[in-house]
Structure 1
Amino acid sequence: MPANAPPSTRRLAVLLGGLAMFGPFSIDTLFPAFPQIGAQMGVDKLAMQQTISVYLLAYAAMSVVHGPLSDAIGRRRVILAGLGVFALASAGCALAATLPQLLLFRALQGLSAGVGLIVGRAVIRDVLHGHDAQRLMSHVSMIFGIAPAVAPVLGGWLLGWQRWPFIFWFLVAFAVVLMAVVWRGLPETHPPAARLPLRPASLLRAYAGIARSPRFLRLSAAAALNFGALFLYIASAPAFVLDLMRLSERQFGWFFIPMISGMMLGAFVSGRAAGRIDGARLANVGFACCGVAMALNIGCTLLAGSPSGRWAVLPISLNAFGIALAFPIITLAILDMYPRQRGSASSLQAFFGLLVNAIIAGVLSPLLSGSALHLALGAAAFAVGGWLLWWWETHAMQRVLRVPQEPAALEPVVP
C-alpha cells in the first residue's frame, strides 16, 4: 500500500483495535491455565502471579522505546517488528519446561507487546484531530475491550481441547495474522519529513522535559490510578473467580463479560458524545460513575461477605464504564501537549500506567486477593486517588486559562 494512501476511519479502527488486543490476550488467556501450569511446574499461586508481573515490567521498560522509535523510523516498521518478536516469544512460552524458562519468554512477550497500543495511539493523532480523534480513540477502545472479555473464556475452551501450551500456539497464530493484516492494510502515517532523529541523549532530554511537566504527571497518574481500580480485579481474576466466586476454569466469562461490556458501553458513549459534550465535563461524569461503583462494591461486599452471586460483578462493570468515559479524554489531552513528540508522550504515559499495573500484579494482588473486602477497599483507594488528581488538574487548568500563555510553553524544545 502506498505510504500516502489515506486510511478509512472504520478500517483504521478495526486494525488498531486488533493491534491493541494482543497485549490483553497475553495476560487474560493464561488465567484459566494457572492451576494446570502450577501443577506441572511444581509452583504455587504466588509464583504463577509473577508471570503477570514479569510481563508487565518488561512491557513498561520497553514502552519508553516504542514511541520514540516510531517517531524516528516510522510507525509501520515498529509495529511489524514488534509483532514478529511477539510471535517468537509466544512460541518460546509454549515450549517452556520450567518456570524460569516461562518467565524469560514472558518477559520477551512484554518487550514486544506494547507496539500495538502505544504506537497505535500515535497513529490516531497522526491522521485525525479534535473530536474526530476522540471518536476514533473511543472506537478503538470498544474493539480493544473485546479482548479481556473473550480471552479468558477462549483460554478455558482451549484448555478443554489441549493442554496449556496450546494457548501460546494460539497467540503465535494471532500475531502472524496481525502481521499479514498490517502489511497489507496499514499505511505509514508518520512521513520522513516529520520524523525525529533517534539520539539517546536527545531522547533522555525529551523524556526529562515531559516528566518534569506537572500537568503531564497529573494526567498520567490520574489515568493510571483510575484504571488501577479495575486492573486490581483483572490481576486477581484467578483468585476472584476460582476461589471467591467459586466458579470453574470455563466460567471466567461471568466476571469478564459484564466488566468489559461496561467498558465497551463507556467507550461507545464517549465516541457519541464527542463534539456534543465538553470533554472535561464528560470525564467528570466518568469519575463520578467510578465513585458510585466503588461505594456500591464496598457496600455489597460488606452485606454479602463473599462475591458468590453473579451480581457481584455489576459494580465492577459500572467502574469500567466510568473509566472508558474518562480515559480517551485524558489520553488525548496528553498527546495534544506534545504535537511533535506524540510517540514519546504516549510511551511515557504507558510506562507510568504499566508500572502501576506491575506493582498491582506483583505486590498488591497477592496481598489482597484472598479477601473480597480487601479487594474492594484497595480498588476504592485507587479510584479516589485518580479522582483527586483529576480534580487537581481541572482546577489548575482553570487558573492557567485566566493567564495569557505563550504558544512555545505548550511543548518543550528538544535539541
Structure 2
Amino acid sequence: MPEGYRRLAALLGALTALGPLGVDMYLPAFPVMGADLAASPAAIQRTLATFLLGMAAGQLLFGPLADRYGRRPPLFGGLALFAAASLGCALAGSAESLAWLRLLQAIGGCAGAVVARAVVRDLCDERGAVRMMAMLMLVMGAAPILAPMLGSALLALFGWRSIFWVLAAYGATALLLVALALPESLPPERRHRGGPSEILAVYLQILRDRRFLAHALASALPMLGLFGYLVASPYVLMERHGLSPLAYGFAFGANAFGLILASQVVARLVRRVEPARLLVVALSACAVAGLLVPLAVATGALWPLLAALFLYLSVMGAVLPMASALAMQPMGRIAGSASAVIGTLQFSGGALVGVLLGALGGGSPWPMALLLAVAGSGGLLAHLALRR
C-alpha cells in the first residue's frame, strides 16, 4: 500500500477512534465518578448508554450530509461539537447533566466513523477496502489499549474530570489535522442532491438490500457482546474480582491487542482468500468464543473469564473490517448513508445493552456472559440466513 495511503489510514483511524476513546478512557473512573457525583452505578452506566445512543442517532444525520456536501464539511462540524461537549463533561455537576453532555459529545464524535468508512469506499476496491479497514483498526485498536491506562493515570494524578479535558484536546487536534491533511474524496458531480423524502428513500433502499444487511448484521450483532463487555466489565472485573483500575486497564489493553493482531492477520489472508469466505470462518469462531464465556463464568475463577473474553474480542478484529468493507462495496454514491446505517445498527444495539445491563447487572457477570453467547451466535446465523 502506498505511503500516502498509510498516512491516510492513520488519520482515518484517529477519527474512528473518537468513539472508542469516548468510551474506554473513562471506564476505570466509574466507581470514583459515582462517589464524587453521589450517583448510583446504574446512573453512571447511563452516561455510557447515552453516549452509545448519540453515536447511533448522530450517524443518521451525518451520513446524508456527507453524501450531499462532501466528506470534509460535516466532519468539521462534528469534531467541533465533540470538543465543546467534552469541555462541558469536564465541568458537569451531576450524573444527569453528564449524561446529556455525553449525548452531544457522541453526536459530534460519530462524524469521524461515518466519514472514515465513506472515504475508504470512495478510494478502494473490495480487497483494498478490507486491507484499509484493517489498517484503520491498527490505529483505532490502539485506543482501547492506551485509553484505559491513560484514563487510570489521569484519574490517579488529576481526578476523573481531567479525562474529559484530554478528550476535548483530542477533538480539537483532530479538527486541525483534518483541515490540513484530509483531501476531499467525493467530487461535486458524485454528490447526492436529494431532499428529505429522497434521503428516506435511500435509507429504505439500503435496508432492502439483503447483501448489505447480511454483512451489516454480521458486524452489528457480535458488537452487542463487545458493548456488553464495555458496560459490565468495570464492575465485574474490578468490584467482583478485585482488579485495581491499573490492572483493569492492562487487561482491557490485552484484549485490544488481540483485536489488532487478528485484524492484521486478516489483512494478509485476504490477498489469497475471498473475503466472503473468510468472514464465515471468523463469524463461526466468534460464535464459539461467545459460548465459552458462560462456561468460564460458571467456574467462578478470574483467569478462565479473562481468556474467554480475550478470544471473543480478538475475533472481533477479524469480523469488523471484512463485514464493513463487504457491506460498503456496492453502495457507490450513497456510501455516506450506508456507513450511517452500519454505525446506527451497531451503536443503537450498544445503547440498548447499556440500559439493560445497567438495570439488570448489579455486578453479576451472568448478564454479560449470556449476552456474548447470544451475540456471537446471532451474527453467524443472521449472516447465513440473509446471504442465502
Shared fold per TM-score greater than 0.5: yes
On the 8 A contact 1:96/1:102 being kept in 2, the answer is yes
1:68 to partner: Cα distance: 1.2
- In 1, the alpha carbon distance for the partners of 2:236 and 2:341 equals 31
Between 209-218 and 339-348, the greater mean CA deviation after superposition:
209-218
Instruction: Name which of 34, 45, 52 aligns with 2:48.
Output: 52
1:251 to partner: Cα distance: 2.0
Instruction: Name which of 322, 327, 333 aligns with 1:334.
Output: 327
- In 2, the alpha carbon distance for the partners of 1:365 and 1:103 equals 14
1:225 to partner: Cα distance: 0.9
Percent of aligned positions that are identical: 34
> Match for residue 381 of structure 1?
374
> Match for residue 400 of structure 1?
none
> Match for residue 236 of structure 1?
232
> Match for residue 358 of structure 1?
351
- Structure 1 position 318 matched with structure 2 position 314: no
Query: In the superposition, relative to structure 1, how do residues 254 and 240 fare at CA in structure 2: closer, same or farther (>3 Å)?
Result: farther
Deviations 1:128-147 (A, max 9, x none): 11211211111101211111
Between 55-64 and 207-216, the greater mean CA deviation after superposition:
207-216
User: TM-score with structure 2 length normalisation?
Assistant: 0.95
- In 1, the alpha carbon distance for the partners of 2:221 and 2:358 equals 15
- Structure 1 position 305 matched with structure 2 position 300: yes
Query: In the superposition, relative to structure 1, how do residues 288 and 365 fare at CA in structure 2: closer, same or farther (>3 Å)?
Result: farther
Whichever of the two has the greater Rg, that structure is: 1
Which letter maps to 1:176?
A
Pairs within 5 Å for 1:128-207: 128-207=124-203
- Structure 1 position 75 matched with structure 2 position 71: yes
- Structure 1 position 214 matched with structure 2 position 186: no
On the 8 A contact 1:89/1:105 being kept in 2, the answer is yes
> Match for residue 339 of structure 2?
346
Deviations 1:183-226 (A, max 9, x none): 11111111111111151111011112222333333332232111
- Structure 1 position 103 matched with structure 2 position 99: yes
Between 289-298 and 21-30, the greater mean CA deviation after superposition:
289-298
- In 2, the alpha carbon distance for the partners of 1:101 and 1:376 equals 31
Deviations 1:237-271 (A, max 9, x none): 21122123211222222321121111101110111
Structure 2 SS opposite 1:371? coil
5+ residue gaps in structure 1? 1-5, 397-415
1:366 to partner: Cα distance: 4.0
Between 109-118 and 214-223, the greater mean CA deviation after superposition:
214-223
1:365 to partner: Cα distance: 4.9
- Structure 1 position 283 matched with structure 2 position 276: no
Query: In the superposition, relative to structure 1, how do residues 82 and 290 fare at CA in structure 2: closer, same or farther (>3 Å)?
Result: same
5+ residue gaps in structure 2? none
- In 1, the alpha carbon distance for the partners of 2:32 and 2:210 equals 46
Which letter maps to 2:284?
A
- In 2, the alpha carbon distance for the partners of 1:143 and 1:366 equals 34
Between 198-207 and 380-389, the greater mean CA deviation after superposition:
198-207
- In 2, the alpha carbon distance for the partners of 1:7 and 1:191 equals 23
- In 1, the alpha carbon distance for the partners of 2:133 and 2:197 equals 32
Which letter maps to 2:185?
T
When the two chains are superposed, the root-mean-square deviation of aligned CA atoms in Å is: 1.7
Which letter maps to 1:94?
A
Query: In the superposition, relative to structure 1, how do residues 334 and 369 fare at CA in structure 2: closer, same or farther (>3 Å)?
Result: farther
> Match for residue 256 of structure 1?
252
Structure 1 SS opposite 2:164? helix
Structure 2 SS opposite 1:340? helix
> Match for residue 269 of structure 1?
265
Structure 2 SS opposite 1:341? helix
On the 8 A contact 1:305/1:372 being kept in 2, the answer is no
- In 1, the alpha carbon distance for the partners of 2:246 and 2:29 equals 10
- In 1, the alpha carbon distance for the partners of 2:312 and 2:13 equals 21
Structure 1 SS opposite 2:17? helix
Between 179-188 and 373-382, the greater mean CA deviation after superposition:
373-382
Instruction: Name which of 219, 223, 234 aligns with 1:223.
Output: 219
Number of aligned residues: 387
Structure 2 SS opposite 1:246? coil
